[in-house]
Every structure is written in structure tokens, then in C-alpha cells.
């Protein structure tokens, strides 16, 4: 196949022929002699293939380097016993050939000289299978929190050695056929909304990695069924409120009039939020929605949060004996033009008076002698229509009266003679239910009372 004169002895022979046989015909005879097969040299061998791998479909141009001689004469190149097209000879001992189609795995490569019938010792070229290709996921999307999901993947070129990766996590796979595989997705991958890339690899056979398909883990669409808030006044302070519904997620945000506000996730059916003073600047109805980010999610239906305009002097509490000659307390809503007789607060067998009211008109504190004919202090909640007898405030045998309520409805300042028979000023916290004597205000030998308190 090759010129065996690749060894030094034969080349020396050639140089001698060139000096001795100077006429061209003598030199030609020497070349023919040199081309005769040698018997003493070892078999020629392929020392390099570049590249050493290629697809099973063939068509890879492979450079072949041979050690042992010069490439001369008609040649045949075989890959795994299949003939390959010889493109060209690129040097004295190199040539290029195009691989024929093959099967995955190693294939012996030989170069055969058809004139002399000699062949190289074989080298190895590896046929690589085509990479997997993904076509469709079933399902392509799944609700967040799903457990036990079986994902079906359709495509081609799947093999028993195929492996699956979802996001960054390897997932065990079952190969159903070269066109379909399936896998059970671990629940932690579906615990939050995200888009996961699905890829299949066949590294064991060198087939590479497939294209990616997206698996969407979707949030539910939020729905608002109720908005619960205390009375809101224009220009008021930051106020907490509650949004009820379904489909809420930890990443959901409450929006008031299109602006996201501070939100705290309670359950999938309840969120709490705080409306800031900036959104309470003007009276009117402010739409409340819940926005959950994708995948999935979206913006809920809207419900209104009512912000009322301030009405200076809107509520008026007073005493009247219009019913049966006894004194009772009443509340007039000047804005609504409505009188509240406060029937749940007034007594049937006593006198009620000295009312004081919170700024929003919800709470009224007053004095009543309904118990033992002695004055005590009571607190009425107009929103819940409940009466608080304030047992922690009142003394069983002393006078407690002339109450005044702070504007926010929390503190009651009142007069009592429980210490030494002289009237003194006391403070009661309706939230902590703690009563305290205002020692800094009271004088031991004086009468102190008829107090008022700011907000």
C-alpha cells in the first residue's frame, strides 16, 4: 500500500539509485523497485484520526495520518467495514476521507492499498448517536403545590441510557420508547411558582443534550370576596385592614387604587395590609385588588374601600329626659342627619349622662347610677352595639363619674372619691384594662376632678 522505503535503509537505497542511474528511465526503474512490497518491515499503522468522533449519519471529514510510508497507489478507506469516499491526499502520509453512515459505538478504520493488497492496522472512530430532541411536554403547566405529578415527554432519539434534568435537579426517568419518556416530578420542585427548563441527555453514548422545553409551575388566580376595615377618614393615619378571598400566595400583594401597599400573608384565604396616609389624602372609594406574580397568578377582581370626608363636629352626644323623665344619652350624626337613641346603652331604671365621644363617633363613655343608685362609668361601642361595664375601672362603694374619652377611644380619664372621700383624677386604659391614679395631678388635701384628655 505505502512506499516501504519510509525506513532509512530504503531511502538510502533511493539516493544511491539517483546518483548511479542518472538517465530518467533508470530512475523510473528504481522507483518501481522501491514500490515492491517489503517483507521485513512491520505493518503500517494509522497514528492519528481527526476528529475521532462523528454522527451516525456519516458525512464527517476525517484526516488520517499513517506511519510507515508514503501514500501512493489506489486506496480504499473503510469505517467499520463500510467503504468511505476518499476526498484527497493531503501529504506524503496523510489523506482525508468522508465517513459513511454507521451505528452508535466504536468502528475500526483501515486504509487498504488496492494495488498491493496491503492494509494498515486498524484505528478506532466512534459513531455518536444523534442528540435527543424534545417536542412536547404533557402537561406543559402545573399548579403550584402539586404532588405526585407524572410528566410525559415526547420527542425522538431517547435511549435506555437517557437522563433527565428539570431545572438544576436530576430526576429519575423511565424510557417508554425512543419517542417517549416519563418521570415523576419531586414535590419540592413544584412548591413555588417558577419556570423550569426540561432537558434530556445521553452522555453515556456521547449523544449530547437535547433542546430545552419549559415547564410552568403556576400560581392560582387570586379572588377577593371581602375587604374589612375600620372607618377611614380623609387625612387619617396609616390604618390596617383585612382582605379575604381565595388563591392568595405568600408573594401576593394588596393594591389600593393601583398602588401596592405593605402586605402580610396569613393564609390562602386571608391577607392583612396597611393603607398609608398618602392614600387616605382624599375621600372616595378606593379599589382594592390582590396581585399575584406569575407564572399564573394575575390581578383579582376589585372591591371598594370607602374613605369618608372629614365633617368637623359631625357627632354630637348629649343628655335628654325625653323618655319617662329619666336622663338618657343620645348621639346625633350631623352629616347623616340621623339620631341614635343608644337603646343598648341607656338603662331602664337609672339616669345616664355626662357623655364623651371618640373622634370617629364609635365609642361613647358616660356616667350612670343604674347600679345601687351610685355613679359608675360605662363604655358603649356603637359599631358592635355592646356595653362594657368596666369592672376594672369602677369601685363597688365609691363615686366614679364625670368621664372623658380620648379622641382615639383608648383612654378614659374620670373622677373618683375612692381614696379618702375626696375627688381625685384617675386614668383607665381600655386596651390593657389598667387603672392608675394620676398622682402628679392630684393634691392630697384638695378636690380634683372634672378632667379632660387629649388624643
Per residue in 239-276, pLDDT (tens digit) is 999 999 999 999 999 999 999 999 999 999 999 999 99
Q: Is 415 exposed, middle or buried (0-12, 13-18, 19+ CB in 10 A)?
A: buried
Contact between 153 and 131 (Cβ < 8 Å): no
How far is Cα 351 from Cα 325, in angstroms, rounded to an integer? Answer: 9
Same domain for 10 and 67: yes
Q: Is residue 421 part of a domain?
A: yes
pLDDT in tens, 317-331: 999 998 888 999 999
Q: Is residue 454 part of a domain?
A: no
How far is Cα 97 from Cα 50, in angstroms, rounded to an integer? Answer: 10
User: Which CATH number does the domain housing residue 204 bear?
Assistant: 2.60.40.10
Same domain for 114 and 27: yes
146 is in which domain, residue-wise?
Answer: 133-218
Report CA Rg, the chain.
49
pLDDT (0 to 100) of residue 69:
59
pLDDT (0 to 100) of residue 110:
92
pTM for the model stands at 0.50
Averaged pLDDT of the chain: 86
Q: Is residue 167 part of a domain?
A: yes
Same domain for 367 and 276: no
Q: Is residue 446 part of a domain?
A: no
Cα–Cα distances in angstroms (integers) from residue 332 to residues 315, 318, 336, 343, 357, in the given order: 6, 8, 9, 14, 11
pLDDT (0 to 100) of residue 290:
97
DSSP 296: B
Same domain for 117 and 13: yes
More confident call, 116 vs 42 = 116
Same domain for 266 and 321: no
pLDDT (0 to 100) of residue 27:
46
pLDDT (0 to 100) of residue 205:
63
b/e burial code for range 65-75 (CB count within 10 A of at least 16 → b): bbebbbbbeeb
Same domain for 269 and 209: no
Same domain for 413 and 389: yes
Question: What domain count does the chain have?
Answer: 4
More confident call, 85 vs 22 = 85
Same domain for 148 and 113: no
pLDDT (0 to 100) of residue 40:
33
pLDDT in tens, 181-227: 999 999 999 999 999 999 999 876 666 889 999 999 999 999 999 99
Residues 6+ apart with CB under 8 A from 278: none
How far is Cα 306 from Cα 287, in angstroms, rounded to an integer? Answer: 9
Instruction: Give the pLDDT band of residue 113 (cuts 50, 70, 90).
Output: confident
Same domain for 273 and 163: no
Q: Is residue 450 part of a domain?
A: no
**Does residue 202 sit in helix, strand or coil?**
coil
Q: Is residue 443 part of a domain?
A: no
Contact between 270 and 243 (Cβ < 8 Å): yes
Q: Is residue 453 part of a domain?
A: no
What are residue 316's DSSP bridge partners? 332
Q: Is residue 20 part of a domain?
A: yes
How far is Cα 164 from Cα 174, in angstroms, rounded to an integer? Answer: 10
Angle between helices 8-20 and 24-35 (to 10 degrees): 160
Same domain for 211 and 155: yes
Residues 6+ apart with CB under 8 A from 316: 331, 332, 334
More confident call, 233 vs 369 = 369
Of the chain, the percentage scoring pLDDT greater than 70 comes to 88
Mean pLDDT to the nearest integer, 150-161? 91
Contact between 219 and 193 (Cβ < 8 Å): yes
Amino acid at each position: 500500500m505505502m512506499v516501504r522505503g519510509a525506513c532509512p535503509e530504503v531511502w538510502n537505497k533511493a539516493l544511491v539509485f539517483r546518483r548511479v542511474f542518472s538517465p530518467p528511465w533508470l530512475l523510473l526503474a528504481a522507483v518501481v523497485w522501491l514500490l515492491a512490497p517489503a517483507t521485513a518491515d512491520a505493518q503500517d499503522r494509522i497514528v492519528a484520526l481527526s476528529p475521532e468522533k462523528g454522527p451516525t449519519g456519516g458525512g464527517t471529514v476525517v484526516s488520517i495520518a499513517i506511519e510507515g510510508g508514503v501514500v501512493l497507489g489506489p486506496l480504499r478507506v473503510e469505517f467499520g467495514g463500510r467503504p468511505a469516499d476518499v476526498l484527497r491526499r493531503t501529504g506524503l502520509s496523510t489523506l482525508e476521507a468522508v465517513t459513511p453512515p454507521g451505528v452508535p459505538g466504536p468502528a475500526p478504520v483501515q486504509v487498504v492499498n488496492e494495488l498491493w493488497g496491503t492494509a494498515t492496522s486498524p484505528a478506532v472512530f466512534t459513531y455518536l448517536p444523534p442528540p435527543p430532541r424534545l417536542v412536547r411536554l404533557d402537561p406543559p403547566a402545573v399548579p403550584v403545590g402539586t404532588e405526585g405529578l407524572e410528566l410525559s415527554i415526547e420527542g425522538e432519539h431517547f435511549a435506555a441510557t437517557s437522563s433527565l434534568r428539570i431545572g438544576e435537579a436530576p430526576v429519575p426517568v423511565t424510557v417508554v420508547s425512543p419517542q417517549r419518556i416519563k418521570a415523576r416530578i419531586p414535590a419540592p420542585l413544584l412548591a413555588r411558582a417558577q419556570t423550569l427548563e426540561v432537558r434530556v441527555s445521553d452522555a453515556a453514548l456521547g449523544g449530547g443534550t437535547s433542546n430545552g422545553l419549559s415547564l410552568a409551575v403556576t400560581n392560582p388566580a387570586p379572588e377577593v370576596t371581602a375587604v374589612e376595615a375600620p372607618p377611614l377618614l380623609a387625612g387619617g393615619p396609616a390604618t390596617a385592614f383585612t382582605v379575604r378571598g381565595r388563591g392568595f400566595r405568600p408573594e401576593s400583594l394588596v393594591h389600593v387604587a393601583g398602588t401596592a401597599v405593605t402586605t402580610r400573608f396569613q393564609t390562602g384565604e386571608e391577607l392583612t395590609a396597611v393603607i398609608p396616609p398618602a392614600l387616605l389624602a382624599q375621600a372616595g372609594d378606593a379599589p382594592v385588588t390582590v396581585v399575584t406574580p406569575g407564572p399564573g397568578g394575575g390581578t383579582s377582581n376589585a372591591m371598594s374601600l370607602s374613605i369618608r370626608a372629614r365633617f368637623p363636629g359631625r357627632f354630637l352626644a348629649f343628655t335628654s329626659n325625653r323618655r319617662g323623665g329619666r336622663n338618657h344619652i343620645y348621639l346625633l350624626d350631623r352629616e347623616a342627619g340621623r339620631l341614635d337613641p343608644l337603646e343598648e346603652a341607656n338603662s331602664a331604671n337609672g339616669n345616664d349622662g355626662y357623655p364623651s365621644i371618640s373622634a370617629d363617633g364609635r365609642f361613647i363613655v358616660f356616667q350612670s347610677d343604674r347600679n345601687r343608685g351610685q355613679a359608675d362609668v360605662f363604655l358603649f361601642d356603637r359599631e358592635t352595639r355592646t356595653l362594657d361595664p368596666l369592672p376594672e375601672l369602677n369601685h363597688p362603694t365609691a363615686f366614679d363619674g364625670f368621664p372623658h374619652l380620648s379622641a382615639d377611644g383608648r383612654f378614659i380619664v374620670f373622677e373618683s372619691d375612692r381614696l379618702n372621700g375626696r375627688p381625685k383624677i384617675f386614668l383607665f386604659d381600655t386596651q390593657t384594662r389598667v387603672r392608675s391614679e394620676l398622682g402628679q395631678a392630684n393634691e392630697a388635701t384638695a378636690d380634683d376632678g372634672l378632667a379632660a384628655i387629649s388624643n
